Structure 1
Amino acid sequence: MVSLFREPSPVLAPFVDVLWYIDEPLPPGRERTIPTGAAQLVVNLHEDTLRWFDSDHHDVHHREEPGHDDEDGGARAVRAAHRTSGSGLIGALTRPLIIDNADQRATVGVAFRPGGAAAFFHPPANVLAEPVIALDSLWGRDGAVLRERLLEQRTPESALQVFESVLLQRVVSAPDSLVGKAVERLSTGARVDEVVDWSGLTSTTFNRRFRSAVGLNPKAFARVRRLQRVLRAVNGYDDAGAGGGHGAGDGDWSTVAVEHGYYDQAHLINEFRMFTGVTPTAYRPRSPGASNHLPLPSRLPPSADHEH
């Protein structure tokens, strides 16, 4: 088992949060992944495919299959399965995405900072709003051969070096410093109207500029980041990343709601379920360090999926 995380070089630091190489076989099944407000670029080294499944009843093109629970802690009905090549961009989303554990067995990836992925793709807004897009459809031949180059590397360290060198060659625009500062303010709890006033832009101009860089409108982004602050708190991390906080088993959700700016506990529960697919009391991450990955119980064999 290998889990290697690497900070980006100074040149990439404005765009990239962390690069990773993970070789960690997981039990057969699926996980529901929670939106973070940022995009990721993932390469599956185990096989040349990425699979994901529609996970919410608001999805327009889902097909339900019998045999799955819709209870708080269980799996909802099976949705239509999707498949692309093994290198893909996962956009900045507002709904949970269901992924196959088989695709997480051996991966190399990069977690962008909110708005950071826009520097590598054009036009960014349309790209970042999609659940998963094959990298070769964005980068052409460079995207198609990236996985091959990573597979040729003999060590995780060299694979990450290759990945970083590719990213350095693909930067197409400078970071939007105003959007970057707006992201910081919204991520720490500032109100959207306050940030718009601070920017000196009209609301329409600010919203358009923010969405072009981040892939989400400011209000949606602020809600996602607030939920992420809640998850850090219930998993025992404070804003500085240190242990502490409430702990997932405390169950004092009314206090959590007040501390994070929700109207009341009911408001928190509604937001929590929308972004995670479960209620707060049913939230059971794979581990505290994988707080955005929720193992999903399934009663149907993989052969029951319908791909398109």
Structure 2
Amino acid sequence: MTYEEIGPPARLTGIATRLWHLEAVPLRRYEKILPLPNVHLIVNLSRPYRLFDRAGRASEVVDAFVSGLQRECLMIESPTRIHHVGVELTPAGLHTLAPHQAAASAGTVQDARRLLAGIGALVAQLHAASAPDVSLRILVDFLSGAVVQPPDRLVADALQLIGAEFDRTVESVSIELGVSQRTLMTRFRTVTGTTPKQHAQVLRFHRFVDAVHAAGGRPDWAALAVTSGYYDQPHVIRAFRRFSGWTPGEYYRLAAEHGPDAAHFVPLDQLPRAAQASA
């Protein structure tokens, strides 16, 4: 496996959180991707991925795509060799690049060409790149030139408050930021395509999954629930079923053998039954 990651330069502060170049053989043919609290732009330099919807219908994913803020897990079939370049955007980052398209990206995986100008040229440049560091410089330059407007400061501040305290209400956040609840909700939806509450729920679950693997050994679910902001263990079970389709125990049995790197990208030997007809 070849993996190279860099942090964003100063000019992409508030827009991107990390950029990476990956070449690897997938651990398994299929992968369940748990909901992530960030947006991702991926340029695939290998054979196509296939994406399965909840009804099991399969579609081929284009070579450059944007995965918006997801409210449920995604099911994919990986190519036999993974080779892609990607950037993790902040929840508000896509709005700086595509102000009129960002909200519609939530809950979807879309052709990046529909959202951003110059994607075709970017794909060609990345195919011609001679090394991972060159690919990353190309992507940084593209993103820097694609910025249409600065990040929405109100939404960025709201995201920071929610990230620090998942149970913050819209009312309390709006009061602290000095705006009406309606203004906060409207701006938040426009920028991210989701609501503060929905984002907080995904973010809490994401950090809980990280904590499961950071603990080492078999998880103490009750203790992790308390430290991660869940009321009790039944609350955790409901969150796991909602966001992964598994119970915590089922998730851990599938993910533990692959370690923390597979925490949110769970390798699977076969599709869930609902998707098998389209395989």
Please tell me the residue identity of whatever aligns with 2:126: L
Structure 2: distance between partners of 1:120 and 1:103: 32
1:18-50 residue CA offsets vs partner (Å, 9 max, x unmatched): 000000111451111111221100111013x34
Query: Is residue 67 of structure 2 the alignment partner of residue 90 of structure 1?
Result: yes
Q: How many residues align?
A: 272
1:141-168 residue CA offsets vs partner (Å, 9 max, x unmatched): x112321110101101001111111111
1:79-114 residue CA offsets vs partner (Å, 9 max, x unmatched): 111223210000101100112221871010001122
Q: Contact 2:97–2:116 at 8 Å: present in 1 too?
A: no
Structure 2: distance between partners of 1:28 and 1:207: 40
Match of 2:29 in 1: 29
Q: Contact 1:251–1:281 at 8 Å: present in 2 too?
A: no
Match of 2:239 in 1: 271
Deviation at 1:261? Answer: 2.4
Match of 2:18 in 1: 18
Give the alignment's TM-score, normalised by structure 1. 0.82
Structure 2: distance between partners of 1:107 and 1:235: 26
Structure 1: distance between partners of 2:74 and 2:20: 20
Match of 2:263 in 1: 291
Match of 2:180 in 1: 202
1:214-273 residue CA offsets vs partner (Å, 9 max, x unmatched): 22111000001111121121111xxxxxxxxx33x4332112222222222111111122
Partner residue of 1:132 out of 109, 112, 115? 109
- Deviating above 3 A after TM superposition, structure 1's stretches of 4 or more consecutive aligned residues are 124-127, 303-307
Q: Which runs of 5+ in 2 are unaligned?
A: none
Matched residue of 2:4: which SS? strand
Structure 1: distance between partners of 2:271 and 2:211: 32
Match of 1:234 in 2: 212
Please tell me the residue identity of whatever aligns with 2:142: V
Give the alignment's TM-score, normalised by structure 2. 0.90
Please tell me the residue identity of whatever aligns with 2:185: N
Structure 2: distance between partners of 1:30 and 1:160: 27
Match of 2:144 in 1: 168
Q: Contact 1:39–1:111 at 8 Å: present in 2 too?
A: yes
How do residues 133-152 of structure 1 correspond to structure 2 at under 5 angstroms? 133-140=110-117, 142-152=118-128
Q: Contact 2:53–2:75 at 8 Å: present in 1 too?
A: yes
Please tell me the residue identity of whatever aligns with 1:231: V
Larger displacement relative to structure 2 (20-29 or 155-164)? 20-29
Percent identity over the alignment is 29
Query: Is residue 189 of structure 2 the alignment partner of residue 189 of structure 1?
Result: no
Structure 1: distance between partners of 2:194 and 2:102: 8
1:50-102 residue CA offsets vs partner (Å, 9 max, x unmatched): 421124xxxxxx2xxxxxxxxxxxxxxxx111223210000101100112221
Instruction: Judging by fraction of residues, say which structure has more helix.
Output: 2
Q: Contact 1:31–1:101 at 8 Å: present in 2 too?
A: yes
